[in-house]
Each structure stands twice: as C-alpha cells, then as structure tokens.
Structure 1
Amino acid sequence: MISNIEEDKTNLTPFQKEVARRRTFAIISHPDAGKTTLTEKFLLYAGALALAGSVRARSSQQHTASDWMSMEKQRGISISATALEMEYQGFHINLLDTPGHQDFSEDTYRTLMAVDSAVMVLDSAKGIEPQTEKLFKVCRMRGIPILSFINKLDHPGRDPLELLDEIERLLGITAVPMNWPVGQAPDFKGVYDLNDHRLRLFQRTEGNKFRVPVRLSGMDDPSLPALIGEATHRQLTEEIALLAGVVSKFDRARFLAGEMTPVYFGSALNNFGVEPFLEAVLELAPPPSIRHTEQGIIDPISEDFRGFVFKLQANIDPRHRDRMAFVRVCSGHFKKDMQVLNPRLKQQIRLSRSFRLFGRERETVEEAFPGDVIGIISPGQLTIGDTVTTGKPIDYARIPTFPPEHFGLLFNDDVTRYKQFNKGLEQLEEEGAIQIFFAEDSLKREPIMAAVGELQFDVVMARLKDEYGVEARLSRLGFTGARWARNSKSERLALPRSVRRCRDRHGETVILFNSEWELDYIRRENPGLTLAEMV
C-alpha cells in the first residue's frame, strides 16, 4: 500500500517533498551475477565515486565502496549488508547492498525488511539460480516490488525470450521487457527501448573502461543497418515484431503489488544500459510506503517519528570500536538529539550520536526523513527488531531468527583472552551473524556456534582475530538442523542418543538433530511438544 504522496503529488509540503523524492531499495542476486558491479556503477553515475572499484580479488585493484571488511577485500565478495546514500537527478537514494556470497546469512533477510523495492540481477548465461529464488521468495512474502536487470549481455548467454519465460515459470511473476538487446555477444551493440522506440548503441572509449551511448531516433534510421550490421538489424526487426504480440503491457499497479517485474538488459561491467536502468529504477520504484503493524497502519508522512532497527554492526571503523544500530526511518522527521521511546525497554533514550552512512564511512547527520537509513550509537539500548518512536508504542513486522544449518564447537586456548572472547561472541550474536548454544549434557562450557551459512564460520573466526585479538579454533559438528522445544509438559524429554539438547542465550531449549527420522521420533515420544523452526 502506497502513501498518499504517490496518489496526489500536488500541493506537497516541504516535508512531503523530501519523502516523495526518496528511493530505498536493495540489490539481490546469486553470487557472481554482477550485483556489486552494478552497485558500483550506480554510485559512479550518482557522482558518489570517482572510479568504480573492481570486485575481483586482486591486491592491486581498488576495493568496492560497499565492501569494507578486511575479509571482503581479500576475497572480493560482499559479506555484510551496508548502507549507501547518494543524490541523483533530484532523487535521494538509499541503496542497501546485501551479501552476495553462496552462504548468505540472516543479514540478507533482515535487510529486505528495510526496503521499499528491490533490484534483481540475473546472469544472462545462468538465469534464475538457487539463491536468487530464495531471495525472491522473501521479497514475495513482503510484497516488495522488483525490477530485473539481466546482466552480462556482452558475454555468451541464453536467448532473451527463454530468460523471460524462466522468470515467469520459476518465480511466478509476469516479466515485461522494457528494452531489448541489439545483438548478442560477441556482437552485442546496445539496447532498444521498447517504450520510446529509441536505440542506445555504445562506442568504446579509450582504455575500454566505459561506453558512450549513441542515441538514434528509431528502427527506421537510415544509418542503423551500417552501424549494427544487416543481419543484426534484420534479427532485431523480427524480434520487436514478435514481442508486440506475446508480451504483456507494463502495469504499474501490478508492479507495485509484486505481481509484475519490468526487465532490462545490459552489461554492468561495461556500462551497457546501466544509466537508463538507474533512471528507470528511480522513476518506477515507489517512495517510502505505508507499513502495517498490529496497532494499525503507519503512513510515512505522519507527524510521529518512527523507525526500527534491522541491523547491528560492531567495529565498522576500527578507530571507534563501537557498535552501530542501523535504523530505517519509517515516518516523521528525525532530528539529532531527539528523545524517543524504546517500547522493549519501556524507557526514553536520546538519539544524540547519529550518523549518515556510506559503507564504513560516517558523518554526523542532523536530520533524516522516511526512507533514510541512519546509524545510531547507543550502547546496550538498541538491538535487532527494536522500534523507536515519539508516539504511541508500535511493533513492526517481527524479524525472525532463522534455523541454523551448520554447527561447530568453538575453543579459545588463550586463558588470558576469555574476556575478549566472550565479548566478541556476545556482540557477534547480537548482530545476528551467528547463534550461540551451550550443550546441557557437557561438563565443559565451550560454546556451540551455529550459522545459517557456512561462510559465517570463517567470518566470525576472522573478526574474532581482527577486532578482538582472539585466536580461536573450531571443531565442526555433524548436526544438520536445530529446533526450539516448546509447550512441553515435562522438563524431561525422550530423545534419541544421537541428538544434542542445548540452551540458547535466552535459556530456551534447543535440540540439534541429524535427520528427519530423529524429529519424527521426538514428536512421537513427547506428546504435546512443539518443535519450532525459528524464534
């Protein structure tokens, strides 16, 4: 549901104009589809970067602005979600860059709770990949509008019509091409705009780093066959005629409802079609939208300030060694030093240390508007899922804890570093990077580290060393899943010997298991027991 600033753009107040020009979106993709490259090119066009950093993990190349962890720089991958804020053609953009590695964590899911739309990047050779499908389902659950960018058209790939069909079959969403590739690798020449019937052809510049668009009036331009070749011109003419009879018309209402995705073709690495795609994102993506809560709707233009914490991050800047809460502003006008209520703590807190974010860079922010993401330093007063407000207490959609699939016993061999070891684990668990359990049947108190993605183990070990000075070692455990035990009438549970009973940081009972057979046995032998997948 959109705010009335979309329905009536006349006679807006200065505050409403600020809300109307905001666009808050995330870019989602499978690993190596080109998400981080597209992010960098968006920043480049917005003037936020002088030179787009390469995502390849070479020590001589510039690191991407969105990848700030040392591990991200070493491996050339995005591990932690970051916020990037910029201005472009009168729009104020809040771009949330999500992790794109194979073993993505809950960080990705939580970030999608904070956006109003999403950009889905697909590899033209691979199409819909498993992680893309997972992230799309999260967007579908939230009704997030999605724009699609089919990338790497300058590389050998699949037929564009086949890719459109796959989007519709696997994702259950209507795919509407907004432009069309002119030729395919190695003869990819540019894109044809199906709405204004203009061509954007591209010429190489010195060094082959960027491509400059050559705009033609349309298919009847007499110079076109010579520019793109007779065969490519003939094929393009036939494909455009075919599209007119088989594809749906773009319907903005269906797009905003998450039922239709506009599709654009291009190459992020070589700047094919990136600028028109960015302009389309800003034109089509909605401004901050109405959010539904158990206490009613929250309109972004209401007077009460409201926001929620979707991410915690410690040690973004080693010079500060602090912990920052990422707050999405949902309504009202944020002002530095304002007093807000945290309903969870039932106490007022002052938001005095507030920052505008750009990767790891920060600068003090005096005000913010709905759609903006601000960083708040407030030790011990804000955690993931918290809401802050100047009005009546509210609860946004709960941010769930997802069931882990990977487990390991964590050892700290340096007895002089246990304080740092425990502090590091506590902060990393509060960030949602991992979950920590303690086995009830063990005489030792080594923690069991649990994660949604296996790469999170490497992340935690590296951060314990870099940020807390702790050398730890991990012994992998063979469990494949965890369930929270609820509603048991007895403290004693009949369990197979192969499972392990643990406690989480809240004292809840957690059962680690190896197979579905074990879960069936536990349910059968413990009537009335509920095994919850998430909390």
Structure 2
Amino acid sequence: MNNIFRFKSFMRTPMFWFSQPIHKLIRNIGVSAHIDSGKTTFSERVLYYGGRIHEIHEVKGADSAGATMDFMELEKEKGITIQSAATHLKWRGHQVNLIDTPGHVDFTIEVERALRVLDGGVLLICGVAGVQPQTLTVHKQMSRYKVPRIIFINKLDRMGANPWSALQSIRKRLSLTVAAVQIPIGQDQTFNGLVDLIKMKAYFFEGLKGEDVKETEVPERYMEEAKEKRQELIETLGSIDPEIEDLYLNEQPISEEKLKASIRKNCQEHKFYPVFMGSAYKNKGVQLALDGVVDYLPAPEEKQNFGFQISLDQKEEKKIEFKTDPKLPFVGYAFKLEENKFGQLTYVRVYQGKLKKGDYVYNMKTKKRVKVARMAKMHANQMEEINDVEAGDIFAVFGVDCSSGDTLVYGDMNYQVLCSSMFVPQPVMSLSIKPTKKEYSARFQKALSKFQREDPTFNVDMDKESEEIIISGMGELHLQIYAERMRREFEIDVHLGQPTVNYRETITQKQQFDYLHKKQTGGAGQYAKVIGYMEPLQLEEGQFSNQFENHVIGTSIPNEYITAVEKGFYESVDKGPLTGYPVVNVRFVLEGGETHVVDSSSNAFMTATKYAFAQTFRQAGPEILEPVMAVEIMVPAPSYQQAMVGIAKRRGSVTNTESRGDMFVLNADVPLSQMFGYATELRGFTSGQGEFSLEYKRHDPVPPNEIETIIAKFKKQKRGQ
C-alpha cells in the first residue's frame, strides 16, 4: 500500500530528540555552487518545506517579489545573489541554520566568510554542465575550512541533463570519492521521481509545490539499475570502510542502518561525499536532500574548531580546541557586517559557552568591552529578537563596534583567545571613482568607510600623484555594484574611470646590497650604511607576502635604526620602482651596516633602505606579474573555431575542451587585461548563444613585449600627461 505524507517539520520529528542536548540538534550549513546552478532556488524550497515561508517565489519571478534570500533590490533586478543571507528553520526536530551564498566569482568573499563558520555544506552541481569553474573555487574553499558536504545534482529536468556525466565530472575534476545514494526516475522533461538506494524505495513529489511525497516500491523497470548503483555505492564505501568491506566480501546483507552510519562517519572525515539528485525548480528531491543534511552532516560538537589562547603579556600563544560546553567562557567570531533598516548588524558564530542579552563581550582586536543590548535571529532581512544563544548558534547582535573577522569573548580581557582567521583573496581590478558633486563628499566618504568594513576584498586608496580615489575589488561587476549601492543607499551620483588591472612587481634572483647614504649640507647631516641581500620569497600559488629579517650580529646598527630599516623596506614595497604597483614575494635581509656618531638617525636609515631597495630591485631580475583568470566558455558546436581563435588572440592557453551535447566547452587561462570587451565579441560570433565565466587563478609574469607598454603608461601618468 502506498504511503503519502506531507513533509512538514513537525510531522518528521523523531521522538528521541526531546532528550538530546541542544547543540546535537543544530546543523549549520551553506548552499554553494557555480553561478546560476540553482542555489537560491534550492534555498527557497528548503524554507518552504521547513515551514519557514508559506509561498515560493522565484529568482526572476513573474510576481516581481523575488526569492526570499535575495532581498536586496539589486539582487531582484539582476537575478543574482550579491551578498550571503542567513536564515533558520526546523527539520525533523533539528534547527538548521542556513546561509545562501553568491555564485559569482566577484562576490567570493561572501562564500569565504560563510564557509569559515559553517559545519557542513550542500554543494550544488548543474546536471547539464557538471563541474564548472566556480565549482572548483567553492570546492577549494570548502576544503580550506574542512567543511563536510553532501552533493546535490540539480536541474535534472533540463534538456541534456545527465547525472552520471555530472557525477563523473565530480570524480575527475574535484578528485572526490563520491557515489550516488539515489537514481532518477525519468530523464529531462520526463524526470518525476527518485529511487533511494539505501532504503530501496521510490519517491514521487506531488501536490501543487511538490510538498506531498509519495513513497512506493521501486518500479520494476528501474530495479536492475537501482541494484547496480546500490552495488556501486557499497563498493565505494567498502574501499574506505573496513566494516562495509568485510560484509561485502563475505556476501552478508548490509542494512540501511549500517550504510547510513558508514556514510555519516566517512562524510564527516572527508573520505566520502554522498550524491543526491533532483530539480529544485520543479520541486523534486529537496526534502530528501534535507534528510541528508540531518543524517550525514555534523552537529557543532562533531566538528573540530580551533583557536589560539594568548598569554596576558601578549607574548605567547598556544593552539586550543573550542568546546560546545555552555559552562565554558563565551567565544564568538564576527564573520559578517551588514547595515539594514535595523541599523548595523554583526553576524556572530558561537564556538563556545553561551551569551545572554545584557552580558558584556570583549573585542580582542579593539580591546573594548561592550554590552550586548539586542540579539536577533535573522530570516533574510527579517529580524526575530532573542534572549540567549549557545555554542553552535549563529545570530546577529546590534551596537558592537567591530570589523569582519574579530573575536568576541566573555566579559573582560582576562580570557584572551583568538579564533583562526579567514582567507581574504587579493583584489585583481581597480577603478577610479569620484562623486559628481562636491556636496556629496561627506556621504561619499561615509559610504566608502561602510563598504570597507563590510567587505575585506573592497579596498580604497588615494593615488598620491593624481589625487584620485582608487577602489579595488574582485572584478568589474563587484565594483559596479558598490557604485550602484552608493546611488541607492546614499543618494550619491558617482563617476567611474576605466578599469585597470592590478599588476604586481617581484624579483627572480638573489642580489647583495651595500649602500651608503651620506649627505652634508651644513649643520646636522645624514649618514647610514646598510648591508645585506634581497631574494625571492617562495609561497603557494596565488599568495603574496613580503618579509624583513634582521641578521645583524653585534651592535653595528642600534635597534632603533633596525626598526627604521624595516619600516623603510615595507614603505618601499607599497609602490614598485617599475610601474608603481605593489612589490610582492621579496625577502629583505639586513646583515650589517655603519653609523656615524653625529649624523646617523632613523630618517637617514629609512632613506638609505629605500635607495638600496630601488637600486637592488633593478639588479635582481625584476618581473611584472599580471592576474591570470581561469575562463570557461560555452558556445554552440559550430562556433568552436572562433572561440579557439579568440582565446589565442588574447594570449590565452587552452587547458581543456569537451563536447556537451550540441555545445562546445573550452577552458583556458587568460590574462585579465585581455578579457575586457570579450562579452560583446562572444555575443557577436555566437548570435547571443555563447556564455562565459572567469575566476582569478594566479599571477604570472608579463611577456617581455608587454612590459615596456605597462612601464611607459606608468611614466606617462607620473608626468601628469
């Protein structure tokens, strides 16, 4: 007999949950994917089936309401997610804290900060396109923070959808151990249900919005495929789980409970990732994926979270693990700032202890103690005030002066701990910006300050030569969005200059320096000699830093002058000698020097260092580095030759090609400077059918024939022409 039941959270609550500690019943998850893979559509269904909302709206809906999690007017207009949004719901007696993240590479910091505080994730893969460029980025981010995840192959209702091809792309391009826990019933437009390979039951999603889930026996024509894929699931688990392997080799039956326990254990240990399937837009499969969140992703106490305990004299630190014990001192991590109709909100993840309204918290960065007057749970842009939180919770607090990435601890400065930091990528593009009217100046400065506090990848600098304000970010769209927000939120019209690429300078060879700065003009003179060497600093791909080392033996240079040398070095790397762009990945080693009893000073040693740096830099095999983007282009098959020729003209190197039905997909590494105007070119030769996406990959040396052009442009700007 068929069973039909409505997937509302109170109908799917196991009786044992009432006796469980609250942190065992929390799941902190994020939904991440390549742009336009259906993240916000998936999140909208999660909210609906969890009883959090009572009507489904689409990203580009006919009713103009827009999806719940895309509440900014800009998001509704453009049909993309710009900033991450938090909400919460109940599912099977568990509290699920959900963060919907952007897919566009320009807003990657929103994904970064969300994954920094989450215990698990749902990685969406397009059933047609498979793994795409931003999927690779999200995968790296999840791996960086050791986030266990389930995988949901979406859009199986689309023409050309192939879940098995998508699954193979996961294995090939992400190098993950995965296996399907479901198979689809039907294909493309005929897709209408799923077979659960663990329970060996079929599920159909009925009702107006797929809310009525009908459980039946597996249709006969799908039984053979289901058995084959279940066998594949067991073999994959057996390769990493000795208990499953023993049962399999001894041909003993493997129960549903054994399979689920193995998947949960290996998922949380990052050894295995279960693959779910469905179509969020067609309201199929989302409820079963939510079951997977509860069944396989960790509770807060099951995920290790580390920080550093600092001695009261600030001289020592040791690594510690935070515990979910509510009796321990409160530790929270401020991971996102947002200003909305309620004022400034600070989103905080609680790692340890508990906090009540009216308690005091101490900011480890600002060294300020502040009272927590108001606390809230957020549902997109709607606020629900609360009185207390415990470890594992994500909440928002009002009136706390802090920046993104600050650690908040209980009460006073006696408990000195720091949460580990998040990774912040380097900006790759810059624009000059200025208000169109002088009377906008105060509001303009306020807007710049606000956006910098919100977004660590949004940088503001003043060009000393031209006195222009330069904003830098992750791409053209990123910066244009902030300009548009100025118009809407601060009523400021601004003028944007042409985009410029953020080049970097570096060296390729070790080079000694022995530089004497001597100046006598009557009265006190200047005397400083610095001896040492500069060499390349080897770091991982995409990472930048500079390093000063003091190897001075004895007292040839007093300590205060060594401090001046260090300051002179770090001021020198702000603007490189060749192009004025920052210098990166240089180690400056000071080995000795000379002083004069009367004429030596800190200023003299700073000046000597700057001259020594400029001179030595030009002798150490200097290079200019340019940002290189990983580009994926999808065009109709007849247009593939134009696509290949176009990339070659833009100094691109092809890394992969493949056919996907009647479409041709090209992956290439292309310098960012060569990608301006490509959207227009692509639309032209594909009659509007082509599309592309790009993300930052690394900085590479600029070809010799391009270097002179960049240097000449810098010299022209310096002359003010």
TM-score by length of 1: 0.83
1:517 matched to 2:718: no
- Aligned partners of 2:51 and 2:232: how far apart in 1? 40
Alpha carbons 1:434, 1:449 under 8 Å: kept: no
Structure 2 match to 1:5? none
CA distance in 2, matches of 1:135, 1:519: 31
Tell me the equivalent position of 2:247: none
Amino acid at match of 1:415: K
Aligned to 1:313: 338
Matches within 5 A, 1:94-113: 94-113=97-116
2:350: which partner in 1?
Answer: 329
1:254 aligns with 2:266: yes
Partner in structure 2 of residue 506 of structure 1: none
CA separation of 1:339 and 1:519: change in aligned 2, threshold 3 A:
farther
- TM-superposed CA distance for 1:38, in Å, is 0.7
| Equivalent position of 1:449 in the other structure | 471
- Residue 405 of structure 1 deviates from its aligned partner by 1.0
Give, in angstroms, the shift of residue 501 of structure 1: 5.4
Given that residues 150 and 293 in structure 2 are in contact (C-alpha distance below 8 angstroms), is that contact kept between their aligned partners in structure 1? yes
* 2:415 counterpart residue number: 392
CA distance in 2, matches of 1:512, 1:93: 48
Q: Deviations over 1:19-75 (max 9, x none)?
A: 1111100000111111101100000011111111111165x3322111111101111
Higher-helix-fraction structure: 2
Consecutive unaligned residues of structure 1, counting only runs of 5 or more, are 1-10, 226-232, 503-508, 522-535
Q: 1:251 to 1:436 in 2, by over 3 A?
A: closer
1:46-445 equivalences under 5 Å are: 46-56=50-60, 58=62, 60-203=63-206, 205=207, 209-210=209-210, 212-217=212-217, 219=218, 224=219, 233=221, 237-238=224-225, 240-241=227-228, 243-245=230-232, 247-249=235-237, 250-288=262-300, 289-295=303-309, 296-303=320-327, 304-314=329-339, 316-317=340-341, 320=342, 322-378=343-399, 381-390=401-410, 392-432=415-455, 434-444=457-467
- The code of the aligned residue for 2:337 comes to L
Offset, 1:347: 2.9
Inter-partner Cα distance in structure 2 for 1:366 and 1:343: 23
Task: Give yes or no for contact 2:27–2:297 (8 Å, CA) kept in 1.
Answer: yes
* CA deviation map 1:378-398 (0-9, x unaligned): 25x211111111272211111
Higher RCO, 1 vs 2 (CA within 8 Å, ≥6 residues apart): 1
Provide the aligned C-alpha RMSD in A: 2.8
Partners of 1:293 and 1:519 lie apart in 2 by: 43
In structure 1, distance between residues paired with 2:456 and 2:68: 21
The answer to whether the 8 A contact 1:464-1:471 is kept is: yes
SS in 1 for 2:82: coil
Aligned to 2:49: 45
Distance 1:159 1:262, change over 3 A: same
**2:502 and 2:581 in contact (8 A); partners too:** no
Cα 1:179–1:411 shift into 2, 3 Å: same
Displacement of 1:356: 1.4
Contact 1:292 1:396 in 2 (8 A): yes
- Which whole-Å CA distance do the structure 1 matches of 2:431 and 2:147 have between them? 35
1:505 alignment partner in structure 2 = none
> Matched residues in 1 for 2:229 and 2:419: separation?
46
Residue identity opposite 1:475 in structure 2: G
Is contact 1:182-1:236 (8 Å) kept?
no
Match of 1:464 in 2: 486
Counterpart-to-counterpart distance in 2, 1:67 and 1:144: 24
Name the amino acid aligned to 1:422. Q
Aligned to 1:533: none
Q: CA deviation at 1:236?
A: 5.1
1:158, CA displacement in angstroms? 4.4
CA distance in 2, matches of 1:416, 1:431: 25
Cα–Cα, structure 1 residues 115 and 245, in superposed 2: closer, same or farther, change >3 Å?
closer
Residues 105 and 433 of structure 1 are in contact (CA less than 8 Å); yes or no, is this contact kept in structure 2? no
**Which residue type is aligned with residue 147 of structure 1?**
I
User: For the Cα contact (< 8 Å) 1:404–1:481, is it kept in 2?
Assistant: no
Contact 2:112 2:423 in 1 (8 A): no
Which secondary structure does the structure 1 equivalent of 2:190 belong to? coil
1:262 and 1:481, CA in 2 relative to 1: closer, same or farther beyond 3 A?
Answer: farther
Corresponding letter in the other structure for 2:469: P
Deviation at 1:161, TM superposition (A): 2.8
For residues 417-443 of structure 1, give each alpha carbon's deviation from its aligned partner in whole angstroms, at most 9, with x where no partner exists: 211100110010010165334345414
Structure 1 residue 486: Cα displacement: 5.1
Q: Would you say the 8 A contact 1:146–1:255 is kept in 2?
A: yes
Return 77-86 or 337-346, whichever deviates more. 337-346
Secondary structure, aligned partner of 2:405:
coil
Letter in 1 for 2:263: D
Q: Which residue identity does 2:43 align to in structure 1?
A: T
- Structure 2 length as normaliser, TM-score? 0.62
Q: Following TM superposition, by how much is the alpha carbon of 1:86 offset from its aligned partner in structure 2, in angstroms?
A: 1.7
Output the CA distance in 1 between the equivalents of 2:149 and 2:74. 30
Aligned length: 480
Contact 1:157–1:185, Cα closer than 8 Å, also in 2: yes
Q: Which stretches in structure 2 are left out of the alignment for 5+ residues? A: 1-15, 238-261, 310-319, 505-543, 549-565, 584-609, 611-622, 628-699, 708-721
- Structure 1 residue aligned with 2:579: 498
- Check whether the contact 1:82–1:98 (CA below 8 A) recurs between aligned residues: yes
* Paired letter, 2:126: D
Q: Deviations over 1:179-226 (max 9, x none)?
A: 1112211322311111111111345x46xx436433213x3xxxx45x
Distance in 2 of aligned mates of 1:368 and 1:495: 49
Task: For 1:12 and 1:269, locate their aligned partners in 2 and report how far apart those are by CA, in whole Å.
Answer: 31
Identity %: 24
Give the C-alpha shift of residue 163 in structure 1. Answer: 2.3
Change (3 A) 1:165 1:513: closer
- CA-CA distance at 1:120 after TM superposition: 0.5
Residue range with higher mean Cα deviation, 412-421 or 160-169: 160-169
Sort the Cα spacing of 1:128 and 1:12 in 2 relative to 1 into closer, same or farther, 3 A.
closer
Q: In the alignment, is the contact (CA less than 8 A) between 1:305 and 1:333 conserved in 2?
A: yes
1:267 and 1:340 map into 2 onto residues whose CA distance is: 44
CA 1:416–1:439: 2 relative to 1, 3 Å: closer
Q: Is the radius of gyration larger for structure 1 or structure 2?
A: 2
